[in-house]
Amino acid sequence: MSRKNSLLSCCRGDELEGLSASKSSCLYKKGQVIFNEGSKPSGLHCVHSGKVKVCKMGSDGKEQIIRLAKPGDVIGYRALMADSNYSASAVAMDDAVVCYVPKSQFMELIHENMDFSNGLMKLLSKALGEAEERMTQMAYKPVRERLAEALLLLQKTYQQDENKENFTIAISREDLASIVGTAKETTIRLLSEFKDEQIIATKGSSITILDADKLYSICHLYD
Amino acid sequence: MSRKNSLLSCCRGDELEGLSASKSSCLYKKGQVIFNEGSKPSGLHCVHSGKVKVCKMGSDGKEQIIRLAKPGDVIGYRALMADSNYSASAVAMDDAVVCYVPKSQFMELIHENMDFSNGLMKLLSKALGEAEERMTQMAYKPVRERLAEALLLLQKTYQQDENKENFTIAISREDLASIVGTAKETTIRLLSEFKDEQIIATKGSSITILDADKLYSICHLYD
DNA sequence: CTTCTAAAATGATAAAAGTCATCTTTTAGG
DNA sequence: CCTAAAAGATGACTTTTATCATTTTAGAAG
């Protein structure tokens, strides 16, 4: 297991004893807000269990999901490091346990621990690369391709059992549309197409990926 | 003048004497490539004069401009810090002079100079915030609003004389379309609309902003 | 000052996606 | 188990944007 990947997972830190000591946990029910766009960060949050979405509100009231967070992921670090207000909100998509680390502890660590600081930088670089990638996709890829990509992202992010053939996730069509950046109805229509093509199966709000390879080829990830 | 903003501008560094000593300059003619998407970074580039675009190629061959760089700006730092290949290319939009700092120098500085390291982190945080902002805009704002925004971005980035009423820039419709994330023809059509509405004037490839306030209100930056 | 080429501009049309209305299925609560 | 509210699904229609074809203009080279 890579040390770097868990560098920031305060919930099982090695060199982060100090953080662990001062962290507190909180349970958020499905739909509850962890922090709000525009407010000032007073610390850092780490997802311990459950699914969390990080999202921005467009001027027309439509929501865009910027990032999906899973257990072990840190959220809200950008605002803290830029010393600015949150540019996005974090909301629990399931019941989720989220730990909290006060800003002072975080800053101490940044200034004293070089490894931690470097890890953070890599994290930021990676996030920036991903954001730029998605920007390009939003610009030119049609919705069908972006939806295929979103389904694969969900699988990559939330599939716990690697071997298990058919990944299933319960997600509202609204949230899915917010990841893709499109209207709910368009998402539903395209999901119906995917169903007809036997790429997925649905039951209520649950979506099961039957043929990930087809999804890959739809979004040209084989190029 | 803020020290933080010039922290990375190796071309006029204060605490960066080491960098300055080992930097070399190179003139790139309009259209020349400074570095290429996919290749491995061997150092850092700083724009000394001219305009530089940082862009990605979409799978369908359409180009998306990720970032505009002006004199004093550093480019290619993300890949260097993430220790990965360039995820975008840099191309001179005008004749441009670009300085080069070898990776070793850069790494030394990161590890030895805390201020430098912190400045980099803020730079990354800011870039990430901007990328996320643009992602949301791409998702939901119509092309007309995004074009207005792009024109204001060009002004904000490249206007040297703050007082001067009418900002003028020469930019190909193709490049402008690549910033907005739309087709060249759509861009031209909307520019014609703006011309009819006396928001801009054009002469050849030059665009003059006559009424920045109207542009602001078009893209809802007053909300 | 011409001529040639590339870029800008415009028109016609097609495709993609959004919106609004409606119906159906889930799902949670009594 | 039944019912109400929420979410999913689908249809009809409109708007936005892309694409392709063509004309006009600007700018460089002879």
Rounded to the nearest 10 degrees, how much is the dihedral formed by the CA atoms of A16, A18, A21, A24? -70
The type of residue at B175 is D
Q: According to the model, what pLDDT value does residue B164 have?
A: 72
What local confidence, expressed as pLDDT, does residue B24 receive? 87
**Choosing among B67, B78, B122, B124, which should be mutated to test the A contact, i.e. which has the most A CBs within 10 A?**
B124
Residue A101 CA, nucleotide C18 C1', distance (Å): 42
Alpha-carbon torsion, ordered B135, B141, B147, B151, to 10 deg: -60
Q: What's the confidence (pLDDT) of residue B58? A: 83
CB-based contact A197:A151 (threshold 8 Å): no
pLDDT, tens digit, 9 for 90 and up, residues B67-108 = 999 999 999 999 999 999 999 999 999 999 999 999 999 999
* Residue A157: predicted pLDDT: 95
Determine what percent of chain B is predicted with pLDDT higher than 70: 88
Chain centre to alpha carbon of residue A67: 4
Instruction: Choose, out of A135, A179, A216, the residue to mutate when testing the contact with B (most B CBs < 10 Å).
Output: A135
Q: Is the pLDDT of residue B9 over 60?
A: no
> In strand D, which positions have an atom below 7 A from any protein CB?
7-12, 16-21, 26-27
Amino acid letter, residue B136:
T
Between CA B177 and C1' C7 the distance (Å) reads 14
Q: What is the DSSP string of B156-223?
A: HHH---SS-SSEEEE--HHHHHHHHTS-HHHHHHHHHHHHHTTSEEEETTEEEES-HHHHHHHTTTT-
What pLDDT shows up at residue A61?
82
B16-72, pLDDT tens digit by residue?
444 555 568 999 999 999 999 999 999 999 999 999 999 999 878 899 999 999 999
- Choice among B125-139, B154-168, B198-212 with the minimum mean pLDDT: B154-168
Per cent of chain A over pLDDT 90 is 76
Place B118 in a pLDDT band, splitting at 50, 70 and 90.
Answer: confident
> What pLDDT is recorded for position B14?
38
Tokens of A220: 């040209």
Closest to A44 measured CA to CA, from A26, A30, A23, A65: A23
- Low-confidence residues of chain A: pLDDT under 50: 1-18
- Measured CB to CB, residues of chain A less than 8 Å from chain B are 56, 58-60, 62, 64, 66, 78-79, 81-84, 87-88, 110-111, 114, 117-118, 120-122, 124-129, 131-141, 181-182, 220, 223
Can you give the pLDDT at residue A19? Answer: 52
Question: Which chain A residues have a beta carbon less than 8 Å from that of B134?
Answer: 135
Cα A85 from Cα A172, distance rounded (Å): 28
Say if CB A15 and CB A114 are below 8 A apart.
no
Per-residue model confidence (pLDDT) at position A33: 95
Q: How far apart are CA B34 and CA B52, in angstroms?
A: 9
Query: At B184, is the pLDDT very low, low, confident or very high (cuts 50, 70, 90)?
Result: very high
Of the candidates A196, A138, A199, A210, the one whose C-alpha atom is nearest the C-alpha of residue A168 is: A210
Residue B179 near residue B153, CB atoms below 8 Å: yes
| Confidence (pLDDT) at B221 | 63
Q: Model confidence over A132-164: pLDDT tens digits?
A: 999 999 999 999 999 999 999 999 999 987 777
**Long-range Cβ contacts of B194-199 (<8 Å, 24+ apart):** B194/B147, B194/B148
The pLDDT of residue B132: 96
Tens digit of each residue's pLDDT (9 = 90 or more) over B10-28: 443 333 444 555 568 999 9
Task: Give Cα separations from A168 to A4, A188, A210, B109 (angstroms).
Answer: 29, 17, 9, 47
User: CA A142, CA A182: separation in Å to the nearest integer?
Assistant: 10
Strand C contacts (Cβ < 7 A) comprise: A 60, 142-144, 182-183, 185-186, 203-206; B 172-174, 184-185, 188-189, 191-192, 202, 204-205
Residue B194 pLDDT > 80, yes or no? yes
Q: Which residue of A has its CA nearest to B111?
A: A114
